[in-house]
Structure 1
Amino acid sequence: MTSAGTRVPGPAGLPLLGSMFDLKRDSLGTFLAGQREHGDVVRFTAGPPGLRMELYGVFSAEGAQQVLATESANFRKDNAFYQEVRESFGNGLLTSQDDDYLRQRRLVQPLFTRKRVDGYASAVTDETSALLTRWGSAPGGTVDVIDEMTGLALRAVARILFGTGVEDAIPVVERCFPVIGSYTLRRGLSPVNPPRHWPIPDNRRAASAMDELYAVCDRIVEERRAEGDAAKGDDLLTLLAQAQSAEDGSLDATEIRDQVLIFLLAGHETTATSLAFALHLLARHPEQQARARAEAERVLAGRTPEAYDLDALPYLTRVLKEAMRLYPAAPAIGRRAVEATEIGGFAIPAGADVVVAPWVTHRHPRYWEEPERFDPERFLPEPEKERPRYAWFPFGGGPRACIGQHFSMLESVLALSMILREYELEAVDQEVPVHAGITLRADAPARCLLRPVGAS
C-alpha cells in the first residue's frame, strides 16, 4: 500500500518549465495522459524557478467526492482562477464563499425550486420554436450547432432573467461576454498579471466590455427595484429584487447584478455546450437519433412540450447525460486546500492547488467500459446504481453543486425533443476539438446538415 508520505507521482515535463506548455496547449489532454500514466492522484509542475506552481490532479470518483463533498470545507475557491472570475463577473453564487455564499444561497434557493423552474418551460419552447423557424431558411440547409445552441441558450436564459428587458440585454451580452471571458481566462491561467488598472490595450478592452455589460444590468436592476412590490413580472431579476427574509435581509443592487452576471455566464454557456454536443453526437449516430426522435414523437404527439414531459422522455434524458459525460461543460474544477490532507493514499499539502476533472473521471476505465464510445444506455437505472456517486458529476457536487441543474436538464431535453421532431441531422464535421475555458469551448464548428422530418 502506498504511504501517505510518498511523493505524488507526475510527469517530469521540461527541465526548467515542467508541464507548462502541455497544460497551456491542452490541459484536458494533459490531465487525461497524467491519469493514464501515473494514476488517480497526479502532481503537475509548471513555470520557471521562482514562479513555479504545483497542481494536484485528483481523478478518481472517490477523490472527487472527497474534494467536493465529504471534505469540501477544506477545499476552497481561493485560487487565482476564481479570483479573476470574481473580479470580472462579481461575487455571485459561483464565486462567493463562507457567510456571503450561505446568505446568497438561502435568498436565491426559493427561485430554483422545481415548481418555479418548471414555470420557465414556455420561455424555452418559445425560443426553440423561433430557432426552428429560422432553420427553415438556413443557407445550404446546414447549421453550426455550437453557434446555434449558444444563441438559443442565451436567449432563453436572458428572457427568464430580464423578462421585458431581454431585447436590450441580449446584444450587449453577445458582444461583451466573449471579450470578458477570454480576458478572465488568460489572467486566470497566467502566473503573473499586470494590474487591471494599468492602461494597456488588453485591460482597456476588457474594462470597456465590463462597463457596458454592467451598465445594462444596473439599469434593468434599478427599474425592478424602483417598482418594488408593485412589480408584476415573474422574471428572475424581479424575484431577486423582491427576495428577502428576516434572517438575511435582501440583496442590494450590486449583489443582484452579481447574481445576474453569474446566472448569465453559468446558465447559457453550460446548457449550450450540453445541447450542442448532444445534437452533434446524435448526428453522428443515426440509430440513436432515430430512437430519440421516436420517443419525442410518441410522447408529444404533435403538441408543444411542457415541463411535466421531462419524466416521460427517459431516452432523451439518457442521451443528454451521455453527452454531458463525454463533453462536460465544466471539464475541470479547481480548489485550494486549506489544511494538509490525504487523498488516495497520498499527502496533499496545505495551500496546494487541486483540480478534479469531470473530463478525466468521465473517461475513467474503472467506471466506464470503452469510455470514448457514445452509449446512452450507460444511464439506465441499473448501471447508474452500480457506479460510484462521483463517476459522473457534470454539475459539480457537494454543498456547491450547481443550483440550476434542474433548469439545465429541463431546457435541454425540451429543446432536443422539439428539434428532433422537426429535423433529421447529419454530421458534416465528424470530430470537434475542444479546450477548457471558463467552460468547455469548441475550437471548430460542429456543422450539421438538416433534413425536415418526413422529407423524401
Structure 2
Amino acid sequence: MATTTRAEAPALAGNPLLGSLLDLKSDSLGTFLRAQREQGDVVRITAGPPGLRATVYCVFSAEGVQQVLAGQSANFRKDNAFYQEIRESFGNGLLTSQDEDYLRQRRLVQPLFTKRRVDGYAAAVAAEVTALTEEWQEDAAFTVDVLEGMTRLALRAVARVLFGTDVDTAVEVVERCFPEVGAYVSRRGYSPLKTPRDWPTPGNRRAAAVHQALYEVCDRIIADRRESGRAPGDGQDLLTLLAEAESAEDAGFSATELREQVLVFLVAGHETTATSLGFALHLLGLHPEVQKRAHEEVDRVLAGRTPGAADLDALPYVTQVLKEAMRLFPAAPAIGRRAVAATEIDGVTVPAGADVIVAPWVTHRHPAYWEDPERFDPDRFTPEAEAARPRYAWFPFGGGPRACIGQHFSMLESVIALAMLLQKYEFEAVDTEVPVTPAITLQAAGPARCRLRPRTT
C-alpha cells in the first residue's frame, strides 16, 4: 500500500454545492467503490450543503481496517450519527454500548456463546429447516424468492433459540416491523438534517408505532418467563439463559437491558444470516458447476441424514460457498467509527473527531487481495488461499474486540441450513441480478427468485 505521507486524505470529486450527497443517497456502495478506484485506500468524502456539510474518511486497505477495528480500536469509537440512531431504536445493547457498559454486557453474555453452548442449538436450526422444506415440498419444480425464504427461516431459527416455544408471536411482529425500523434508521443516519424524533411527522409516528410493537412483544415474553416459576437451569432457550446471566463482578440484566439485548440479537441474528444464505443459494443457482460440487460433498458426507454441529468440519466446500457469498454480499457492507485522536493510516492523517468508515463491500473487492473480484469462486477460501491473504481482507463479522459475538452461531446455522437445502433441491436462478441497498444491514432492492427442483437422490 502507499506510504507517502499527506497532510490530509485525497478527496473524492463531488458537486460544488452538495459534495457527494446525491451520489451517496442514490448508491453509497458504488460511491465507496469509486472512491477506492479513483483515490486510493484512505479517501475523504464530503456531503451536504454549506453549513451542514459532513466529511467522512473511508479506509479500504486490509491493513487500515485492521488498525481501525483491532490494532487501535480504542481510538475508533461507535460515536457516529448512524450508531446513535440504532441506539435510539434498539437501546444500548451489545451492538451499540461502549466502555464499562459494553464490558459488563460482554462478560454476562460471553458464556452463552461458547462453542459448546452454540453447538447445542443445531437441533433447533435443523427443525426450522425441516419445517421450511415441508412447506416447500412439491412434486415438480417451483419458484421462490430465496432471500425472502431465508429471511423467514433465519428469523424463525433465531426466535426459536431466543424464545423457545414463543416463536410464532415473535416472528409475526418482527417480520412486520423490522423493515420499517431499518429504513427509518438508515434515512436518519445518513441525513445531514433531521427532525427530532418526538415531532409528530408521519415518518416519526410510523416508526414510534413499530418500535412500540417490538418492545411490547419482547417485554411480554420476558415477563412470561419470569412469571413461569422456572428454576434456574431448566430452560435452554437463550432468553432464559440471558435472564439468569450474572457473574462474580456483575449483577444480572434488568428488564430494560434484557429487552435491548433481545432486540439486538434479533437484528444481528436473523438479517445477517438470511443475507448470507439467500445470496449463497442465488449464486449457486447461477453457477451449476459449483452447485454440483456442493451437492456431491453433502451427499458423500451426510448420506441423507440430518447434519449436526459435528459435521461442520466435514463440509469444507459448503463452508467455502458461504464465505464467498459473504465476500460478495457482506451483511454489514459498511461499518462506522469516530476517531478520538489524530491517527496516521496508510500514510494519511485522519484528524481527531473525524467520522471513519471501513467497508467490507469495498475491501472484499479490493484488487490487491482478490483477482477478478466480481467473480464467484469458493476456491478463494481453501485453507491455503486464506493463509496467503491479510487477516482483514475479509471481515464480514467485523473484527477486534468488537467482533460479532454470534459469528459461530451464524456459521453453524448457515452451514446446517445450506447443507439440508442442498440435500432436498437443485437451484436454478431466475433473476440473474439482484440490486441491493444498505440499511442497518444489506437489503435486496428486488427479488432473488430461484426455480427449485426436488432431488431424486
Q: Fold conserved (TM > 0.5)?
A: yes
Change (3 A) 1:5 1:364: closer
Secondary structure at 2:144's aligned position in 1? strand
> In the alignment, which residue of structure 1 is the partner of 2:57?
56
> In the alignment, which residue of structure 1 is the partner of 2:412?
410
> In the alignment, which residue of structure 1 is the partner of 2:375?
373
Amino acid in structure 2 at the alignment position of 1:269:
E
Residue among 331, 337, 342 paired with 1:340: 342
Residue 239 of structure 1 deviates from its aligned partner by 0.3
> In the alignment, which residue of structure 1 is the partner of 2:205?
204
Amino acid in structure 2 at the alignment position of 1:230:
A
TM-score by length of 2: 0.97
Return the alpha-carbon distance in structure 2 between the equivalents of residues 147 and 237 of structure 1.
26
> In the alignment, which residue of structure 2 is the partner of 1:428?
430
Residue among 280, 291, 294 paired with 2:293: 291
Return the alpha-carbon distance in structure 1 between the equivalents of residues 264 and 229 of structure 2.
23
Residue 226 of structure 1 deviates from its aligned partner by 3.2
Residue 137 of structure 1 deviates from its aligned partner by 4.4
Return the alpha-carbon distance in structure 1 between the equivalents of residues 441 and 168 of structure 2.
25
Paired residues for 1:238-257 under 5 Å: 238-257=240-259
Return the alpha-carbon distance in structure 2 between the equivalents of residues 86 and 421 of structure 1.
41
> In the alignment, which residue of structure 2 is the partner of 1:279?
281
Return the alpha-carbon distance in structure 2 between the equivalents of residues 149 and 99 of structure 1.
36
Return the alpha-carbon distance in structure 2 between the equivalents of residues 225 and 53 of structure 1.
46
Residue 153 of structure 1 deviates from its aligned partner by 0.2
- Give yes or no for contact 1:127–1:156 (8 Å, CA) kept in 2: yes
> In the alignment, which residue of structure 1 is the partner of 2:402?
400
Secondary structure at 1:304's aligned position in 2? coil
Residue 175 of structure 1 deviates from its aligned partner by 1.1
> In the alignment, which residue of structure 1 is the partner of 2:109?
108
Return the alpha-carbon distance in structure 2 between the equivalents of residues 157 and 90 of structure 1.
19
Secondary structure at 1:310's aligned position in 2? helix
Secondary structure at 1:134's aligned position in 2? helix
Amino acid in structure 1 at the alignment position of 2:246:
Q
- Give yes or no for contact 2:145–2:447 (8 Å, CA) kept in 1: yes
Return the alpha-carbon distance in structure 1 between the equivalents of residues 26 and 348 of structure 2.
28
Matched, 1:136 2:154: no
Amino acid in structure 2 at the alignment position of 1:143:
V
- Give yes or no for contact 1:229–1:242 (8 Å, CA) kept in 2: no
> In the alignment, which residue of structure 2 is the partner of 1:330?
332
Return the alpha-carbon distance in structure 1 between the equivalents of residues 407 and 102 of structure 2.
18
- Give yes or no for contact 2:327–2:364 (8 Å, CA) kept in 1: yes
TM-score by length of 1: 0.98
- Give yes or no for contact 1:63–1:343 (8 Å, CA) kept in 2: yes
Return the alpha-carbon distance in structure 2 between the equivalents of residues 159 and 98 of structure 1.
31
- Give yes or no for contact 2:8–2:350 (8 Å, CA) kept in 1: no
Return the alpha-carbon distance in structure 1 between the equivalents of residues 367 and 3 of structure 2.
21
Secondary structure at 2:164's aligned position in 1? helix
1:254-288 per-residue CA deviation (whole Å, 9 max, x = no partner) reads: 11100000000010000000000100111100011
Unaligned stretches of 5+ residues in structure 2: none
- Give yes or no for contact 1:228–1:241 (8 Å, CA) kept in 2: no
Q: Percent identity?
A: 71
Unaligned stretches of 5+ residues in structure 1: none
Across the two proteins, how many residue pairs are aligned to each other? 455
> In the alignment, which residue of structure 1 is the partner of 2:452?
450
> In the alignment, which residue of structure 1 is the partner of 2:385?
383
Secondary structure at 2:185's aligned position in 1? helix
- Give yes or no for contact 2:185–2:439 (8 Å, CA) kept in 1: no
> In the alignment, which residue of structure 2 is the partner of 1:157?
158
Return the alpha-carbon distance in structure 2 between the equivalents of residues 81 and 16 of structure 1.
23
Question: What CA RMSD, in Å, does the superposition of the two structures yield over aligned residues?
Answer: 1.3
- Give yes or no for contact 1:341–1:349 (8 Å, CA) kept in 2: yes
The farther-off stretch of 223-232 and 246-255 is 223-232
> In the alignment, which residue of structure 1 is the partner of 2:322?
320
The farther-off stretch of 215-224 and 283-292 is 215-224
**Runs of 4 or more above 6 Å deviation:** none
- Give yes or no for contact 2:282–2:448 (8 Å, CA) kept in 1: yes
Residue 131 of structure 1 deviates from its aligned partner by 0.9
Change (3 A) 1:228 1:67: farther
Amino acid in structure 2 at the alignment position of 1:73:
A
Matched, 1:25 2:45: no
Paired residues for 1:148-187 under 5 Å: 148-187=149-188
Secondary structure at 2:375's aligned position in 1? coil
Secondary structure at 2:11's aligned position in 1? coil
Residue 246 of structure 1 deviates from its aligned partner by 2.2
> In the alignment, which residue of structure 2 is the partner of 1:363?
365
Residue 189 of structure 1 deviates from its aligned partner by 0.9
Return the alpha-carbon distance in structure 2 between the equivalents of residues 140 and 452 of structure 1.
7
Residue 202 of structure 1 deviates from its aligned partner by 0.8
- Give yes or no for contact 2:76–2:338 (8 Å, CA) kept in 1: yes
- Give yes or no for contact 1:64–1:390 (8 Å, CA) kept in 2: yes
